[in-house]
């Protein structure tokens, strides 16, 4: 077991807050027909500036001397899945919010109109978040 870097722990914590914010945006839009554009912009901006840039920096500056358990095929697969899937989900989140924002401007509740897509997206977003939590756990609290 190795001590997690402080910024990794901070990023993990803020990613949970970002997820709460996103779920709140979906909830208010779906249930109460209120689309919080400023909160969407702030949340997406924060995600890019801090969380995605941090993940990218960690991937670029990955050190070879981080311990043997970090380079098992399983650990590499989890890291690759989380990185690729999270970026894909973030791009889809931007598209999803832009389309929803435009529809709300036309008086259409996009989330209610497309329930299956909305709840499917939320489920996939949660997979991305839990894969990050699992990756953090593997990296710092196991000897896989």
pLDDT tens sequence across 72-86: 889 889 989 998 999
* CA distances, 117 to each of 74, 110, 112, 121 (Å): 31, 10, 10, 6
pLDDT single digits (tens) 29-50: 999 999 999 999 999 999 988 8
**How far apart (Å, rounded) are the C-alpha atoms in residues 30 and 87?**
24
In a domain, 1, yes or no: no
pTM (global) more than 0.75: yes
Q: Which domain holds residue 116?
A: 6-141
pLDDT single digits (tens) 121-139: 999 999 999 999 999 998 8
In a domain, 61, yes or no: yes
Total domains present in the chain: 1
CB atoms within 10 A of CB 80: 12
Q: What is the secondary structure of 48-73 as a DSSP string? A: IIIIIHHHHHHHHT--S-S-GGGGSH
């Amino acid at each position: 077991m190795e001590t997690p870097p402080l910024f990794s722990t901070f990023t993990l914590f803020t990613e949970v807050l970002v997820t709460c914010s996103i779920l709140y945006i979906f909830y208010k839009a779906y249930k109460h027909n209120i689309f919080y554009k400023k909160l969407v912009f702030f949340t997406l901006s924060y995600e890019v500036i801090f969380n995605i840039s941090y993940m990218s920096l960690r991937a670029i500056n990955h050190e070879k001397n981080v311990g043997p358990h970090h380079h098992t095929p399983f650990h590499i697969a989890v890291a690759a899945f989380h990185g690729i899937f999270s970026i894909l989900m973030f791009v889809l989140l931007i598209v999803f919010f832009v389309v929803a924002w435009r529809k709300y401007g036309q008086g259409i509740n996009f989330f209610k109109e497309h329930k299956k897509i909305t709840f499917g997206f939320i489920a996939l977003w949660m997979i991305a978040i839990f894969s990050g939590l699992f990756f953090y756990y593997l990296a710092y609290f196991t000897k896989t």
